[in-house]
Amino acid sequence: MGVVSEVDVQAIMKAKIGHEIPPYRLLGVCAPGIAKAVIEADPDAGALLPCGCCVYETAPGNTRIALQDPGAIAKMADNAAITATMTIAQGHLAGVLAALKA
């Protein structure tokens, strides 16, 4: 799993509407093998990729990471091959979260 896209929401809010918010990032998280399996199972399901993630500070020195549940993608796609792939993705993301907590 890796970050394949990043959006600086703080900068966009400031530039587009003049609104100040604390640092806030949206990350697209994916793995090439998982993306390949999803797209091969249903090309339209590619619109559900990558898994979404937001990162922001809840208090000075405390960062929150919220991840999209790959199970939600599996439910939306309603495809057995995608469900199996999203189970693998859930395992990968669980490992990433465990490493971040360590």
* CATH code for position 9: 3.30.310.70
Q: How many domains is the chain built from? A: 1
Residue-wise pLDDT for 77-92, tens only, equals 889 999 999 999 999 9
**What is the domain extent for residue 90?**
2-101
Q: Cα separation of 79 and 39, whole Å?
A: 12
Cβ–Cβ < 8 Å for 25, 56: yes
Q: Are strands 2-8 and 24-30 parallel, antiparallel or unpaired?
A: antiparallel
Question: Where does 1-102 have alpha helices with state H?
Answer: 9-17, 32-41, 70-77, 80-101
Triad 76, 43, 29: Cα angle to 5°: 65
pLDDT digits (tens, 9 = 90+) for 37-79: 999 999 999 998 888 899 999 998 899 999 899 998 899 888 9
Model's pTM, two decimal places? 0.80
